[in-house]
Amino acid sequence: MNKFRFPPPGPLIAAVLAVLLAGAGAGCDRPGSSPAVPAAAPPPATPAVAVQPPIPPGDGDFFADVTERAGVRFVHQLCDDHVANIIESNGAGGAVLDFDGDGWMDLFLVNSGPLEGVTKAGKGTRREPNRLFRNRGDGTFAPQATYAVGQQPNLVRAADLDGDGAVDLVIANEFGTVSVLRNRGDGTFAPQVTYTIRSYPRSMTATDLDGDGAIDIITANLNSNTVSVLRNLGNGTFAAQAMYVVGITMASMTATDLDGDGAVDLVIAGRGAVAVLRNLGDETLGAQVTCQAA
């Protein structure tokens, strides 16, 4: 059974996620102000960002923020000065997985970061890495290696893509690629293998769409209003995308068998409408059925 335990409650540190976003954004606006994190070494002992002001716990709070105390020191750089940039207002992706098979759930976090000519980060701003954290089993996390993925990653899923029993990672990147990191089974991941999808993926699911027992990858892409299907060839490598046009502006997607035929269908929620793509059971999806919101 997978376990995910935190240390006993202590002084509340902060609402770290919100502060990371705000603090990291400030760092991007001031080139060189982001804390240095060695490429393959643990981050510095001092907090990556200061909490201003600290958020005190309330009487009715269910949760205490132990991110800092648990050793999860990670910076997601907000590199624009407005929230209209969806990836940076939503945050980047992350996954909870047991990458080393010790029964304790670990973390993998990606950073969209500065991108010259795209975001407003100052020229030369250091890009903070995507990082794996290993759960020590006592509620604290040890930083592991960093891993390169595509430009502006924003979605992460964990699944055993090659069927070797070790959980792999798949990352959707804003500019039309998916990065697959194969778990070597020794506590490390192989360098990324990338596949082309349509740009601006807004949602991603990893499920066996064609029923061959191998996990496939599906993304729902904004702007083009398309779904990209990457069919697993059975060994953790993928065929070129099959693309389906969905006539709604998409926001999120899930996969489930809606008609009970044993084949997983897709449900996509968008602006004022929900679209259903029925799995025809022959490695293709049928025409969408769209339900307009009242």
Nearer of residues 21 and 229 to Ca ion, judged by Cβ: 229
Binding region for Ca ion (CB under 5 A): 98, 100, 102, 104, 106, 160, 162, 164, 166, 168, 183, 208, 210, 212, 214, 216, 232, 257, 259, 261, 263, 265, 279
The minimum distance between CB 38 and Ca ion, in angstroms, equals 23
The minimum distance between CB 147 and Ca ion, in angstroms, equals 15
The minimum distance between CB 211 and Ca ion, in angstroms, equals 7
The minimum distance between CB 26 and Ca ion, in angstroms, equals 33
Beta bridge partners of 240: none
Q: Cα-flanking dihedrals φ and ψ of residue 109, to 5°? A: -125, 140
Nearer of residues 61 and 257 to Ca ion, judged by Cβ: 257
User: Does residue 8 have a cis peptide bond before it, meaning omega lies within 30 degrees of 0?
Assistant: no
Beta bridge partners of 230: 217
The Cα–Cα gap between 140 and 36 comes to 22
Nearer of residues 61 and 212 to Ca ion, judged by Cβ: 212
Nearer of residues 183 and 225 to Ca ion, judged by Cβ: 183
The minimum distance between CB 97 and Ca ion, in angstroms, equals 8
Nearer of residues 29 and 283 to Ca ion, judged by Cβ: 283
The minimum distance between CB 157 and Ca ion, in angstroms, equals 13
Q: Which residue matches tokens 């200061």?
A: 50
251 burial via Cβ count (<10 Å: 0-12, 13-18, 19+): middle
Nearer of residues 174 and 265 to Ca ion, judged by Cβ: 265
- C-beta of residue 130 within 8 angstroms of C-beta of residue 148: yes
DSSP-derived 3-state class of residue 124:
coil
Nearer of residues 52 and 235 to Ca ion, judged by Cβ: 235
User: Does residue 47 have a cis peptide bond before it, meaning omega lies within 30 degrees of 0?
Assistant: no
The Cα–Cα gap between 235 and 28 comes to 40
Contacts of 96 (CB under 8 A, 6+ apart): 4, 105, 106, 107, 158
The number of angstroms, rounded, from the C-alpha of 190 to the middle of its chain's C-alpha atoms is 18
DSSP state letter for 18: H
